[in-house]
Amino acid sequence: MQLKDNFDRPIKYLRLSVTDRCNLRCFYCMPEEGMHFLPKNQLLSYEEMLRITDIYSGMGVNKIRITGGEPFVRKDLIHFLEKLSKNPLLNKISITTNGILTKAFLPQLKALGIHQINLSLDSIDEQNFKKITRRDVFTTVMDTFYQLLADGFQVKINAVIMEGINDHEILDLANLARMHPVSVRFIEEMPFNGSGKSKKLNTWNHQKIHKQLESHFINFRKITAPENSTSANYTFDGASGNVGIIAAHSRTFCGTCDRIRITSTGEMRNCLYGHNVLNLKKLMREGCNDSEIKTQIIDVIQQRAKDGFEAEKLRGQLNPIEESMSVIGG
């Protein structure tokens, strides 16, 4: 069977957050003091995650992205990935990481057939990196970046563009795609900053980022993006890689949305901007069997919003966006 929502969109992509913890403190994601990270028993166990991925892959999900917080801060992640990679119904397992602990696991990831890595990198200026992440680990992260390239991984860089913070680095970041076979993606800033307070206006939306790139690179032109991709991709003369623009706040790509999210606490989320719709951890711990859980998943997937704006509206006044991205998993 192929799970489909109430807009007939097939659901093929699961973003699974394995932890709410992170070893960075990016100011657009969480407060400096960090958050009240949850005790382990409130997080899904690896066995529960495997059961959930089996249930969804049995309903047509064939792609899983492992997110966090920072996935590699969770102990024994590689053993979980070993078991997950044995699921014959999955075509692709990919990971989003900040690169601090990642390098040591590259040989094992390669051996498991996990070739696609998204590296969160908002700055390639050491001082600015430190200002954004509140951690002094720039060299370690760049080491991982070059090792990923050297080992032949498919690397995508995720850079959130923030007004007056790293907007001056857009061209430097894009130039990484001139020098390396990498996809540098510029992401609009989103309100998931753990405080709910929206900061000063950020004018760097997808159009403005596009204009900046187009005005600088020769023969800047659109290229075909993978099906259902949230990224609009471009190349330019002399590029070894490409650049992408993700209109994450403008939400221009919801019409073909094929993804759902599972938080590290086992909450299913039909849309990034929506609220949690089903507590899978509770169902499993109450003893529900797989077919009972499948029935509930099919039920809530029929209540999806048509896009991220509607999903945000449906949260209502009493439930504004206040959570940190590290709780959702991006």
Nearer to ligand SF4, 213 or 272 (CB): 272
Q: How far apart are CA 243 and CA 309, in angstroms?
A: 26
Spell out where the chain has E strands. 13-17, 63-67, 92-97, 116-120, 154-161, 183-188, 221-223, 231-235, 242-246, 259-262, 267-269, 276-279
Q: How far apart are CA 175 and CA 213, in angstroms?
A: 10
Per CB under 6 A, 188 contacts ligand SF4: no
Least spacing, CB of residue 209 vs ligand SF4, in Å:
18
Least spacing, CB of residue 307 vs ligand SF4, in Å:
5
Nearer to ligand SF4, 137 or 260 (CB): 260
Per CB under 6 A, 308 contacts ligand SF4: yes
Q: Which stretch binds ligand SF4 (CB under 6 A): 37-45, 212-220, 233-241, 307-315?
A: 307-315
Per CB under 6 A, 70 contacts ligand SF4: no
- Cis omega (within 30 of 0) for bond into 69: yes
Give the residue among 110, 186, 175 at the shortest CA–CA distance from 148. Answer: 110
Contact string 244-263 vs ligand SF4 (x = CB under 6 A): -------x-xx--x-x----
Contact string 201-240 vs ligand SF4 (x = CB under 6 A): ----------------------------------------
Contact 52, 44 (CB under 8 A): yes
Nearer to ligand SF4, 132 or 160 (CB): 160
Least spacing, CB of residue 192 vs ligand SF4, in Å:
12
Among 311, 325, 327, 328, binds ligand SF4 (CB under 6 A): 311
Q: How many CB atoms lie within 10 A of CB 64?
A: 24
Nearer to ligand SF4, 49 or 311 (CB): 311
- Nearest residue to ligand SF4 by CB is 308
Q: Which stretch binds ligand SF4 (CB under 6 A): 18-26, 40-48, 234-242, 265-273?
A: 265-273
Q: How far apart are CA 51 and CA 292, in angstroms?
A: 13
**What is the four-CA torsion angle of 245, 250, 254, 258, rounded to 10 degrees?**
50
Nearer to ligand SF4, 132 or 328 (CB): 328
Running DSSP on this structure, what letter comes out for residue 276? E
Nearer to ligand SF4, 90 or 257 (CB): 257
Spell out where 98-207 has E strands. 116-120, 154-161, 183-188
Per CB under 6 A, 307 contacts ligand SF4: yes
Nearer to ligand SF4, 96 or 175 (CB): 96
Per CB under 6 A, 3 contacts ligand SF4: no
Contact 10, 62 (CB under 8 A): no
State the maximum Cα–Cα separation within the chain, in Å, rounded to a whole number. 60
Residues 6+ apart with CB under 8 A from 85: 93, 112, 113, 114
Q: How many CB atoms lie within 10 A of CB 280?
A: 25
Nearer to ligand SF4, 139 or 256 (CB): 256
Give the residue among 67, 5, 26 at the shortest CA–CA distance from 328. Answer: 67
Structure tokens at 142: 């760049």
Per CB under 6 A, 192 contacts ligand SF4: no
Binding site for ligand SF4 (CB under 6 A): 251, 253-254, 257, 259, 271-273, 307-308, 311
